[in-house]
Amino acid sequence: MSAAEAVSVALPVGVNGVESVTMTVIPDGDHVTIVDCGVWRPDLPDGGVGALEAGLEGAGYALRDVSRIVVTHAHIDHYGMAGRLMELTGAPLLMHAHTDLDCEKYRHPDTARARRRDTYADHGVSETERTDLADHLTRWLPYLHSVVEASQRLRGGEVLTIGGEDWDVVHTPGHSLGHVCLWSPTRELLLSGDHLLPGITPPVTFERGFDADPLRSYLDSLRRIADLRPQLVHPGHGRPFGDAVGRIEAILRNKLRRLERVRAAIRERPYTVTELADLLVAKAILAHQRQLAISETLAHIAYLRWSGAVERRTRSDGVYEWYATGDAPLDVKSGLRAAPSAP
């Protein structure tokens, strides 16, 4: 087998609307490297290991053949099974160094929930609702077998030799601060994780203590991948697809439209983040949708604040509201610079 025959395997998830995640199996001589490994399934006697084994067998391998585990980012749908898989195979785990922040959050979920409640309180979410929204992490934790840090911490720029061919590690922060893609220059093949998905625009959310301007990071990362001009993309959800540059252009247009809508609203009058989320997304029925809407709105606000288009002030009730400060055009092609303090 060659790198061109990397196989995508859908593993079931079934949490918060995420039906499945894709594990990519890359032949490596008599062994195999896998990229992303799905979730631990507390509802199944084997924890879901059987589905992973079946995927490997479909690609012509067994669990004992796994010699390396790469996780594109430490969100639980991609990382939840990693600890169990390391126990079963002895394989090392490769993740970006910034995934240590995710691991810390999983080890201390009460602290993470409190930090999120504080953020929601600052931005006008009611006490009853912010407690529910902060429990987003709680709903995912049963699907995490164990908290394991990387055996090898990546930083981007490394070259992994798999099956006699080179794969470049490309750091692509945005959807997650510790997100990486794997790029095969020989095959013009990208393993994109959640950085680039078919059909849907990957969520880019703000969380205190992580990236101060995640949307800007994401747009910059998209341009980095567009410069590679992949001919084939294996995403973290869904089927492989081509025309990566066209997909990136569509995502950039989507993000810019949302930025302009947020900015236009604030030009009319000051808004809180909660009001903006309700205006632009419509108040979601499910808690995870509501949490996503607010966190994505925060990411858009951070971008606008960094650009000098909006600023915040504190109302008499202690809630932040955002007002327009400038009319400069939004340049989604600008590079990264030091960002201001968190929203």
Helix spans in the chain (H): 49-58, 76-79, 82-89, 99-107, 109-122, 127-134, 136-140, 214-228, 244-268, 273-281, 287-306
- CATH superfamily to which 3-105+148-250 belongs: Ribonuclease Z/Hydroxyacylglutathione hydrolase-like (3.60.15.10)
Q: How far apart are the first and last CA of the chain?
A: 49
Question: How confident is the model over 311-322, as pLDDT tens digits?
Answer: 999 999 999 999
pLDDT at 287: 60
340 falls in which pLDDT band (50, 70, 90)?
very low
Q: What are the residue boundaries of the structural domains of the chain, listed by start?
A: 3-105+148-250, 109-138+266-324
pLDDT at 194: 98
pLDDT at 39: 98
Average pLDDT, the chain: 91
User: What is the spatial distance between Cα 198 and Cα 110, in angstroms, rounded to a whole number?
Assistant: 34
pLDDT at 134: 80
pLDDT at 1: 39
Cα 105 from chain centre:
15
Mean pLDDT for the stretch of residues 202-210: 93
User: What is the spatial distance between Cα 60 and Cα 305, in angstroms, rounded to a whole number?
Assistant: 51
Mean pLDDT for the stretch of residues 199-204: 91
Q: How many helices (H) and strands (E) does the chain have?
A: 11, 13
Backbone φ and ψ for 73, nearest 5 degrees, come out as -165, 155
pLDDT at 132: 80
Q: Which CATH number fits domain 109-138+266-324: 2.60.120, 2.60.40, 1.10.10, 1.10.3470?
A: 1.10.10
Look at residue 214 and tell me whether its pLDDT is greater than 60.
Answer: yes
For the chain, percent of residues with pLDDT exceeding 90: 82
Mean pLDDT for the stretch of residues 181-200: 96
Look at residue 130 and tell me whether its pLDDT is greater than 60.
Answer: yes
Question: How confident is the model over 132-182, as pLDDT tens digits?
Answer: 888 888 889 999 999 999 999 999 999 999 999 999 999 999 999 999 999
Question: How confident is the model over 249-302, as pLDDT tens digits?
Answer: 999 999 999 999 999 999 999 999 999 998 877 655 556 678 888 999 999 999
Do the beta carbons of residue 255 and residue 220 sit within 8 Å?
no
pLDDT at 285: 55
12 falls in which pLDDT band (50, 70, 90)?
very high
Look at residue 200 and tell me whether its pLDDT is greater than 70.
Answer: yes
pLDDT at 330: 67
For the chain, percent of residues with pLDDT exceeding 70: 92
